[in-house]
Amino acid sequence: MTTLLAVPILTGAPAAARPVTVLAPELPPMMSADGTGREASIITETLAACGHETHLKVVPFGRHWNDFRDSAQGTGQGVDAVSTVPEGMALPGSRSAPYILYQNGASVLQSSGLKVQSLADLAGKRVITFAGAPDVLPGLRAAIPSFGDFRERADQMVHSNLLFAGRVDAVLADGLIFAEYNRQLQEKAKSAGGLPFDPAQPVEFTAIFPPTAYSMVFRDESLRADFDRCFAELKAKGRVDAIDRDWVARYAATVGDRYLPQR
């Protein structure tokens, strides 16, 4: 879907504003289908600070990169940028400085008594993670043979379902994304029929991986330069950190002070 976000233009924005269409993956609470979220706020406020109006085109995770490549080849709808690009991924265009950090870690049920400080603590355990995680999470690929079972699933709602149902022992994923799907399951459990498991079971998240940095990739080098400049300005003013603190606080019941703990 395409979402138009109206964000106030900050003082000092360039006079010549332009609409900027950004492909983004649906990863609540980073980027929800309606174009809101932690990452959405950072992107839209940064571009607004440069006088640009953001149009977010939110698609399933993974498809955002493919659609961006297709548009570069003239086989897809034209877009100006793509978000959430990991280090080392080659895409046509100009890469921005990192603008957001995800904090991946291990989440387990507190009732399991499992304490996870490293991947070694998951030896013999049933582990689930997001599609492509072995290419993103340091040490994961080498550790896979030590697990009792290992699965990758693009739909991260499945992760929480399987953990609460006792069918996996640990979820390897970003702490806020995991917490948001737990929240959605708790809402679903209140509806008629409920769920065959209790999604309110206490969980414990541990940040066992270093933060993962993501960049934007722009078609236009001058637009990339605008983004980097205005992001640096917002960062210096403390606005980016304020956005991060606000969103992390919403999920404190799950992540505590363990999300981006060095910040």
pLDDT for res 100 = 98
Q: Which two tokens stand for residue 241?
A: 């950190």
Tell me the mean pLDDT in the region 130-156.
95
Number of neighbouring beta carbons within 10 Å of residue 144 = 15
Q: Which two tokens stand for residue 260?
A: 């981006």
Identity of the residue numbered 165:
A
Q: Render pLDDT for 175-223 as a digit per residue (tens, 0 to 9).
A: 999 999 999 999 999 886 789 999 999 999 999 999 999 999 999 999 9
Tell me the mean pLDDT in the region 59-73.
89
pLDDT for res 229 = 97
Cα separation, 246 vs 149, in Å, equals 36
What are the helix (H) ranges across the chain? 38-49, 63-72, 140-143, 157-164, 175-189, 221-236, 239-249, 252-255
State the pTM of this model: 0.89
CA angle 189/194/200 to nearest 5° reads: 35
